[in-house]
């Protein structure tokens, strides 16, 4: 499993897409918001938590189809499925690699982007905390969507349609946690962490069922 | 005995392709699947590899390596990186031996994207060797290869069978493998009474 | 006892929309059912002829 | 003879053909009677005026919107565990009905909300949950349509339905955290149901039973259609 994670990271770096593409997309999405709603700093401060979380979510979505698609196309997935590693382990490794490639840089990049949106000073800690415990859920749920749509040609749009509704609880709780004035950010943070742990524990098995069905 | 199959029915999508496959493989044996395109060679190999329902398939030594039409190599990684990845997956440590055996030393730092088709196939073969699996399932291992590369692959299969391994191969070229046995896919052709589609049973009103 | 007060429009609109939606569903269900049944009958006929 | 026998397509077709006429008549009688009773024979509520008549559509539709998904969840599990084809097809058959019910619930709720709350739409927890349910339905159906091989589609939609149920439930509770303080006291008719007296309660009950029966009728018809189209594919594939 370790070698699978390492290989995925290496592939992401080699193909150049990896970090840079996701981060540029995140930057652009966040940048579009002031263009759309105006440069009123008070307004921006108020909507910053939501915008940053939605930006993180969309950037995450962007690279989801790569999780299994490339390995599916060149026959690696078949070979992996017949290897001693169980499919759930493969899904865990792939989702972890995806998190390192997207979730982690997004969490870090959110800090300067928060500044662009005039995020309140006290909110930064909750922003980083909620993104770092919430993005694993995004990667694992995304891996599930990718596993389901891996056999579908041009399944990108469908992938978004399937995955975005699954992101709703994480987004609601995560963004609410960052919003200043929400009474119990620590409780919300705990709930986001609970969703993440739940996803890490159970989603790989759902991925395994989906991959198995697709490989048939 | 390494593998025992009894009354296996294989369907591709909704269609029954082959029926009543019974087959047992012992160590040192090489089985060659023969039949025209669409006769179910690939389907059978995929079922044996455990990629579909595995009712009726019994493996006594749970190590199978499967190689399909695609080699499963990444063109942006070097030969060495590709192979050490598989060594990590199969948790084996014979990487250097395999590289030497298949004359891949000179290529080991080349990107796979720069290799020829034959060289890529050699990488696919290298993965089979790295896996240390007893049973090799190979789907057209010599397709689009010249004679010299083909013979390299046959030699490897030969050696594998000599070392108490076994192989099931679909090919249309004659192989010089001593203990080989030819399996005609026509024997498994679907007869009307084999049809088990639940939607064809009975009549509807 | 029947009366609709100042909310006549609201109530009628709600009932119209619901009945249109339900009607569409029922119509779609029945028409697809008929279409597939006809296609299947034709196919069964063909199968029987060949036997 | 066990219940599972009816998962055999031919048996299911025979059984469903026998009960369908009764079901269709019962459901249309009950639903029409209930709606007639509710629409013409109930008085206006002292607070809501005649808009109270909308609950005879709204409540049954909302109940069925959720129950249709629950039925899909159960049949999906049955397919994944016992691999009964009828089960998977019944799940597929229920989805469009669930969508229609959700749409009716949302539409009637919005139309009722305009005079009562002064707006068609508010991001109230319950309304939002139905909107989320709607997108889950859309995703589920889109997945069925996107996959060519029917058994693979059944597998994938089943697992999607199970995972989706968990996240729909999570959303239902997350929504409470998210919109607290935004919309106080936005209790819908379900809560009032406890207070309504028998003049409203009895026709509502008739409508609910009628809607359940209508749902069953439509599911049976649609499942039969799905089974027929599967047989059609099987016959064509056999090439005879």
Looking at the fold, whether B141 and B173 belong to one and the same domain comes out as yes
Minimal Cα distance from D230: which residue of B? B199
Q: In whole angstroms, give the CA distance from residue D182 to residue A179.
A: 14
| Mean pLDDT lowest among B40-49, B51-60, B100-109, B192-201 | B51-60
Contacts of A158 in chain D (CB under 8 A): 142-143, 146
> How far is the first Cα of chain D from the last one, in angstroms, to the nearest whole number?
33
Quick one: pLDDT at residue C22?
95
Q: What is the CATH number of the domain that holds B168?
A: 3.40.50.300
Q: In whole angstroms, give the CA distance from residue A114 to residue A112.
A: 5
CA C31 to chain D, closest CA, distance in angstroms equals 10
Report whether pLDDT(D1) > 50: no
Q: In whole angstroms, give the CA distance from residue B157 to residue B151.
A: 10
Contacts of B85 in chain A (CB under 8 A): 3-4, 6-7
Q: Are the C-beta atoms of D136 and D163 separated by less than 8 Å?
A: no
Q: What pLDDT band is residue B6 in, cutting at 50, 70 and 90?
A: confident
Quick one: pLDDT at residue D189?
44
* Longest Cα separation, chain D: 68
Q: What pLDDT band is residue D176 in, cutting at 50, 70 and 90?
A: confident
Number of folded domains that form chain A: 1
Burial class (CB within 10 angstroms; exposed 0-12, middle 13-18, buried 19+) of B193: exposed
Note the pTM of the prediction, 2 decimals: 0.92
Say yes or no: A32 contacts chain B, CB-CB below 8 A.
no
Burial class (CB within 10 angstroms; exposed 0-12, middle 13-18, buried 19+) of D10: middle
User: The domain containing residue B12 runs over which residues?
Assistant: 1-63+136-199
CA C20 to chain D, closest CA, distance in angstroms equals 10
Report whether pLDDT(D187) > 50: no
User: The domain containing residue A115 runs over which residues?
Assistant: 2-215
Quick one: pLDDT at residue D6?
64
Pick from D136, D149, D154, D139: nearest CA to D223: D154
Angle at A192 between CA A187 and CA A198, to 5 degrees: 125
Q: What pLDDT band is residue D196 in, cutting at 50, 70 and 90?
A: low
Q: Are the C-beta atoms of A98 and A142 separated by less than 8 Å?
A: yes
Looking at the fold, whether B28 and B73 belong to one and the same domain comes out as no
Looking at the fold, whether B129 and B31 belong to one and the same domain comes out as no
Quick one: pLDDT at residue B156?
87
Count CA within 13 A, CB hemisphere, residue D24: 11
Minimal Cα distance from C19: which residue of D? D104
Q: In whole angstroms, give the CA distance from residue A113 to residue A117.
A: 7
The string of DSSP codes covering A93-146 is HHHHHHIIIIIHHHHHHHHHHHHHTT--TTHHHHHHHHHHHHHHHHHHHHHHHH
DSSP annotation of D45: B
Burial class (CB within 10 angstroms; exposed 0-12, middle 13-18, buried 19+) of B4: middle
Quick one: pLDDT at residue A25?
92
Residue B6 domain-assigned (yes or no): yes
- From first to last of its 216 residues, what are the pLDDT tens digits of chain A? 788 888 888 888 887 666 788 899 999 999 999 999 988 999 999 899 999 999 999 999 988 988 999 899 888 999 999 888 899 999 999 999 999 999 999 999 999 999 999 888 888 999 999 999 999 999 999 999 999 999 888 888 999 999 999 999 999 999 988 886 666 788 889 999 999 999 999 999 999 999 999 998
Contacts of B197 in chain D (CB under 8 A): 234
Q: In whole angstroms, give the CA distance from residue B46 to residue A214.
A: 13
Q: How many Cβ pairs closer than 8 A exist between chain A and B? A: 71
Q: What pLDDT band is residue D183 in, cutting at 50, 70 and 90?
A: very low
Q: Is the ipTM of this complex over 0.90?
A: yes
DSSP annotation of A180: B
Which of D13, D41, D48, D53 would best serve as a mutation to test chain C binding (most C beta carbons within 10 A)?
D53
Q: Are the C-beta atoms of D76 and D162 separated by less than 8 Å?
A: yes
Given B84, B99, B133, the domain boundary residue is: B133
Quick one: pLDDT at residue D2?
56
CB-nearest to D175 from A172, A191, A203 is A172
Given a cut of 50, the residues of chain C with pLDDT beneath it are 1
Quick one: pLDDT at residue D195?
53
**β-strands B15-25, B30-34: how paired?**
unpaired
**Contacts (Cβ under 8 Å, ≥6 apart) of D96:** C25, C28, C29, D141, D222
Report whether pLDDT(B140) > 70: yes
Identify which of B174-188, D32-46, D171-185 has the greatest average pLDDT: D32-46
Number of folded domains that form chain B: 2
Quick one: pLDDT at residue B107?
85
DSSP H/E element including B15:
strand B15-25
Q: Do A3 and B51 touch (CB under 8 A)?
A: no
How far CA A22 is from CA of A61, A64, B28, B65, in Å, comes to 9, 11, 51, 36
More confident residue, D237 or A162: A162
Q: Which of the other chains make 3 or more beta carbon contacts under 8 angstroms with chain A?
A: B, D
Contacts of B46 in chain D (CB under 8 A): none
pLDDT tens, position by position, D203-236: 899 999 999 999 999 999 999 999 999 999 888 8
Q: How far is CA C38 from the centre of its chain?
A: 17
CB-nearest to C10 from D42, D111, D224 is D111
pLDDT tens, position by position, D19-62: 999 999 999 999 999 998 888 888 777 677 777 888 899 999 99
Minimal Cα distance from B64: which residue of A? A82
**Contacts (Cβ under 8 Å, ≥6 apart) of D9:** B198, B199, B201, B202, B204, D85, D86, D227, D230, D231
């Amino acid at each position: 499993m370790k070698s699978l994670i390492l290989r995925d990271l290496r592939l992401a770096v080699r193909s150049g897409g990896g970090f840079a593409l996701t981060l540029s997309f995140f930057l652009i999405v966040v940048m579009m918001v002031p263009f759309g709603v105006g440069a009123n700093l008070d307004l921006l401060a108020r909507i910053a938590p939501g915008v940053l979380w939605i930006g993180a979510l969309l950037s995450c979505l962007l690279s989801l189809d790569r999780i299994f698609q490339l390995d599916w196309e060149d026959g690696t997935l078949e070979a992996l499925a017949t290897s001693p590693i169980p499919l759930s382990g493969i899904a865990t490794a792939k989702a972890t690699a995806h998190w390192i490639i997207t979730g982690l840089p997004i969490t870090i990049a959110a800090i300067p982007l928060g500044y662009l949106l005039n995020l309140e000073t006290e909110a930064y800690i909750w922003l980083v905390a909620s993104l770092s415990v919430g993005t694993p859920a995004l990667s694992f749920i995304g891996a599930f969507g990718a596993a389901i749509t891996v056999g579908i040609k041009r399944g990108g749009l469908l992938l978004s349609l399937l995955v975005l509704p699954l992101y709703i609880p994480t987004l609601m709780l995560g963004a609410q946690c960052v919003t200043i004035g929400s009474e119990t950010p620590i409780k919300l943070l705990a709930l986001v962490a609970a969703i993440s742990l739940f996803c890490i524990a159970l989603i790989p098995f759902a991925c395994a069922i989906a991959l198995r069905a697709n490989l048939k | 005995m390494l593998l025992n199959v009894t009354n296996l029915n294989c369907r591709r999508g909704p269609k029954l392709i082959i029926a009543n496959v019974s087959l047992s493989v012992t160590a040192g044996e090489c089985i060659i699947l023969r039949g025209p395109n669409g006769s179910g060679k690939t389907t059978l190999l995929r079922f044996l590899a455990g990629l579909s329902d595995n009712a009726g398939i019994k493996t006594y030594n749970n190590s199978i390596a499967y190689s399909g039409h695609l080699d499963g190599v990444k063109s942006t990684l070097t030969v060495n990186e590709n192979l050490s990845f598989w060594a990590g997956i199969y948790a084996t440590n014979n990487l250097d031996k395999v590289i030497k055996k298949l004359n891949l030393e000179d290529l080991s730092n080349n990107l796979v994207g720069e290799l020829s088709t034959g060289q890529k196939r050699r990488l696919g073969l290298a993965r089979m060797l790295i896996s240390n699996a007893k049973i090799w399932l190979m789907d057209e291992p010599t397709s689009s290869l010249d004679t010299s590369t083909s013979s390299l692959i046959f030699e490897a299969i030969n050696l594998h069978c000599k070392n108490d391994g076994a192989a099931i191969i679909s090919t249309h070229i004659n192989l010089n493998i001593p203990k080989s046995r030819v399996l005609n896919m026509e024997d498994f052709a679907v007869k009307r009474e084999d049809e088990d589609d639940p939607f064809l049973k009975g009549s509807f009103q | 006892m029947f009366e609709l007060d100042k909310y006549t429009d609201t109530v009628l609109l709600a009932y119209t929309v619901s009945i249109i939606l339900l009607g569409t569903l029922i119509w779609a269900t029945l028409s697809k059912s008929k279409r597939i049944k006809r296609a299947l009958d034709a196919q069964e006929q063909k199968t029987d002829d060949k036997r | 003879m066990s219940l599972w026998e009816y998962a055999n397509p031919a048996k299911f077709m025979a059984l469903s053909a026998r009960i369908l006429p009764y079901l269709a008549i019962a459901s249309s009688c009950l639903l029409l009677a209930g709606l007639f009773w509710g629409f013409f024979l109930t008085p206006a509520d002292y607070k809501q005026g005649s808009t109270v008549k909308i609950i005879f559509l709204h409540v049954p539709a909302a109940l069925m919107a959720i129950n249709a998904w629950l039925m899909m969840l159960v049949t999906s599990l049955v397919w994944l565990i016992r691999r009964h084809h009828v089960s998977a097809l019944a799940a597929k058959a229920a989805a469009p009905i669930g969508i229609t019910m959700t749409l009716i619930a949302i539409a009637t709720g919005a139309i009722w909300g305009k005079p009562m709350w002064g707006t068609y739409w508010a991001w109230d927890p319950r309304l939002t949950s139905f909107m989320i349910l709607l997108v889950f339905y859309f995703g589920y159906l889109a997945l069925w349509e996107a996959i060519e091989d029917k058994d693979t589609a059944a597998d994938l939609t089943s697992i999607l339905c199970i995972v989706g149920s968990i996240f729909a439930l999570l959303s239902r509770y997350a929504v409470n955290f998210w919109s607290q303080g935004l919309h106080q006291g936005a209790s819908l008719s379900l809560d009032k149901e406890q207070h309504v007296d028998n003049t409203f309660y009895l026709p509502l009950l008739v409508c609910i039973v009628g809607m359940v029966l209508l749902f069953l009728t439509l599911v049976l018809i649609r499942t039969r259609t799905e089974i027929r189209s599967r047989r059609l594919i099987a016959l064509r594939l056999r090439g005879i």
